[in-house]
Every structure is written in structure tokens, then in C-alpha cells.
């Protein structure tokens, strides 16, 4: 299964979640076992043999890829969630989206000092979400191995916001 097959399965949803946004819907990839497996295999193969201590998965679609990749790599998963969704003491970071603002949280003890962390989310747009998550990991003493996305919307220049951290996205629009 090729990256191009995964790319072809991603559909455009105009005016979602707000008017003027062209949403890249990955649910057809998730719903097709072969495509989903190919996407997970792509990330897992990229990090096989490298030392990743934990995968930090960003809510919500990042959970899907992050958990599957962590399982393949034999690591744990750290959920990075929207504010108010975690039960224990948290650290947080706020950021701007292309259509609003939000706050992410992570448990205060989620990242061990010196841990090598792979950050995963489904899509890189403005980079605000990933930057907020990576910043919390850095502040906790973690080392970002890479920040991985299935899709990058290059015209929104999110990669620039993540300068200083390695970024990987096999599908770029």
C-alpha cells in the first residue's frame, strides 16, 4: 500500500468546522484496514531501531496513530488532551488555531526527565497544537525525537512554527 493510496483516500470537506475552512478528512483512511495499517507501518518503520521511550499523542486523531505506533514500537503512550479532560495534576499550554484558540494539558508526571519522545498528530496546519504539546514535553525535560503527522497543509506554514524540532509528514497539500 503506497502513500499515494493513502493520499487519494483523504477527502475534502468544505466549510468544516467553520465557513472558509477546507477540512482534510482522514476517516476513510482510518476505516480501511489496509490503509490504516499502511499509515501505522510507515510511522513505525521510520522509528524502528531508534530509541523512542514514549509516544505523546495529541487529541483526538493523534490518539489513533500514536497508540498504534506506540504498540508497534513497544512504548507507552502519553495523552495530550484538551483542557479539563485529564483527571490528575496537569501542566498546560494555550495556542491559536486557524479558526480560534485552545488549551492543551498533560499530566505533570507524564514525561520523565531525559525521555525521548515521539509526538504524533494527524494533521499539521498552523503548528499551534503541536508546538504547544512539544513545548510542554520540553519543559518537562523530555527530548523530542520527531513530530509526526499523516498530513501537512504546507500553505499554512505550520512547519515554520515548529522550527528547531524535526518534523515528518508523508502527505503534503
User: Which residues form the catalytic set?
Assistant: 61, 98
Which residues on adjacent β-strands are paired with residue 63?
none
Cα 13 to the chain's mean position, in Å? Answer: 20
Q: Taking a C-beta distance cutoff of 8 angstroms, is the pair 123, 103 a contact? A: no
**HSE-CB of 99 using CA atoms within 13 angstroms:** 10
| CA gap 86, 79 in Å, rounded | 9
Quick check: bond before 60 cis, omega within 30? yes
Is 130 strand, coil or helix?
Answer: helix
d(CA 121, CA 149): 5
- Integer angstrom CA distances of residue 102 from 9, 33, 76, 78: 29, 32, 26, 19
Amino acid at each position: 500500500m503506497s502513500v499515494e493510496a493513502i493520499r487519494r483516500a483523504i477527502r475534502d470537506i468544505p466549510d468544516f468546522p467553520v465557513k472558509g475552512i477546507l477540512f482534510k478528512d482522514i476517516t476513510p483512511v482510518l476505516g480501511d484496514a489496509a490503509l490504516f495499517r499502511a499509515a501505522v507501518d510507515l510511522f513505525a518503520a521510520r522509528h524502528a531501531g531508534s530509541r523512542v521511550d514514549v509516544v505523546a499523542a495529541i487529541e483526538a486523531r493523534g490518539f489513533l496513530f500514536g497508540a498504534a505506533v506506540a504498540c508497534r514500537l513497544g512504548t507507552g503512550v502519553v495523552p495530550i488532551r484538551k483542557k479539563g479532560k485529564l483527571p490528575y495534576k496537569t501542566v498546560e499550554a494555550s495556542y491559536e488555531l486557524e479558526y480560534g484558540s485552545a488549551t492543551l494539558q498533560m499530566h505533570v508526571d507524564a514525561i520523565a526527565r531525559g525521555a525521548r519522545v515521539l509526538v504524533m498528530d494527524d494533521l499539521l496546519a498552523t503548528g499551534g497544537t503541536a508546538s504547544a504539546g512539544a513545548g510542554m514535553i520540553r519543559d518537562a525535560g523530555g527530548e523530542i525525537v520527531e513530530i509526526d503527522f499523516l498530513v501537512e497543509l504546507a500553505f499554512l506554514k505550520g512547519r515554520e512554527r515548529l522550527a528547531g524540532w524535526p518534523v515528518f509528514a508523508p502527505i503534503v497539500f
